Amino acid sequence: MTLALDSVRRGQRAKVLPGFRLTLGITLAWLSAIVLVPMFALVSRAAGVGFDGMIASATDARVLASFRITFGASLIAATINLVFGTMLAWALVRWRFPGRRLLDGFVDLPFALPTAVAGIALTTLWAKRGMLGQIADGYGLQIAFAPPGIAIALVFIGLPFVVRTVQPVLEELEPEIEEAAATLGASRLQTIARVVLPELLPALLTGFALAFARAVGEYGSVIFIAGNRPGQTEIVPLLIVTKLEQYDYAGAAALAVLMLLVSFVMLLAINLLQRWAKKRHGN
């Protein structure tokens, strides 16, 4: 009965509101032209090298080194963002202090600032004679043109992700459960560890995964600060550009497809995490 009613209503709605075919047509045509056909061109070009060719290009020493540095730096950067992003989200939601709204808006700076601009600013800051690079140099640490520089650029561009995924969950968190825990005799630390953190866990992991995924593909901010020495500070996206500049289209496409596979796995993980979060908070 309800099913029949639903379909009647849906049928009427389709008649009442026009433009379904037109807008779906525009959407599909534009999506195909801009996204689907070019992505298909990439995959078919990579398929041209064959499975063995893919394996061969993936296990090349220079490629392996670039994957190691890309994933290593991304993992470190995402972890730093997880820790500090959570604290930042906590302060923004729970504390009242002057300049809170300003800080809240400021967190999005890495989203808005062009990556190349961030890249040259960070490089100047952390180069040997730069304001912070000088201090590090005093301790014998090289930041810019070395692996730590890559991680610093990736911390910058991934900074908003953890804050922006944790913040809304923290805002929704019922203060009553924390009060209940406190009333039942839990210390503040226990309440946070046993009550708050488990509630935040899906959001924390999602923010971490988003920051990590963004870091793996990042190009603009990293190439200035990295130094780009093959095998040492060369990231995968730069290696793709290098192959392209040497007219090795197939090699570039094979690397790109490998990276896409990684992003799809990440995307899947993020989707599953969000479903898990919805299930826990749902109903």
Binding mask 112-151 toward another protein (x if CB under 8 A, else -) reads xxxxxxx-xxx-xx----xxx-------------------
Instruction: From 41-49, 60-68, 137-145, 197-205, give the range in contact with another protein by CB under 8 A.
Output: 41-49
CB of 70 or CB of 203, closer to another protein: 70
Nearest Cα to Cα of residue 88 among 158, 135, 143, 136? 158
The residue from 8, 38, 172, 197 that contacts another protein (CB under 8 A) is: 38
Nearest Cα to Cα of residue 226 among 156, 122, 75, 81? 122
Smallest distance, another protein to C-beta of residue 204, A: 16
Nearest Cα to Cα of residue 260 among 92, 43, 102? 43
Smallest distance, another protein to C-beta of residue 271, A: 9
What is the footprint of another protein within residues 53-82 (CB under 8 A)? none
Round to whole Å and give the CA distance between 254 and 239: 11
Length of the chain: 283
Q: If binding is defined by CB under 8 A, does position 87 make contact with another protein?
A: yes
Smallest distance, another protein to C-beta of residue 95, A: 7
Round to whole Å and give the CA distance between 205 and 146: 28
Round to whole Å and give the CA distance between 7 and 4: 5
Round to whole Å and give the CA distance between 137 and 129: 9
Q: If binding is defined by CB under 8 A, does position 197 make contact with another protein?
A: no
Round to whole Å and give the CA distance between 38 and 258: 16
CB of 11 or CB of 198, closer to another protein: 11
Smallest distance, another protein to C-beta of residue 43, A: 9
How is residue 161 written in tokens?
Answer: 């992700």
Instruction: From 49-57, 59-67, 142-150, 177-185, give the range in contact with another protein by CB under 8 A.
Output: 177-185
CB of 52 or CB of 176, closer to another protein: 176
DSSP tag of 273: H
Instruction: From 31-39, 56-64, 139-147, 199-207, give the range in contact with another protein by CB under 8 A.
Output: 31-39
User: Within a 13 Å sphere around the CA of 215, how many CA atoms are in the beta-carbon half?
Assistant: 32
Round to whole Å and give the CA distance between 89 and 100: 11
What is the footprint of another protein within residues 243-262 (CB under 8 A)? 244, 247, 249, 252-253, 256, 259-260
The residue from 53, 147, 220, 227 that contacts another protein (CB under 8 A) is: 220
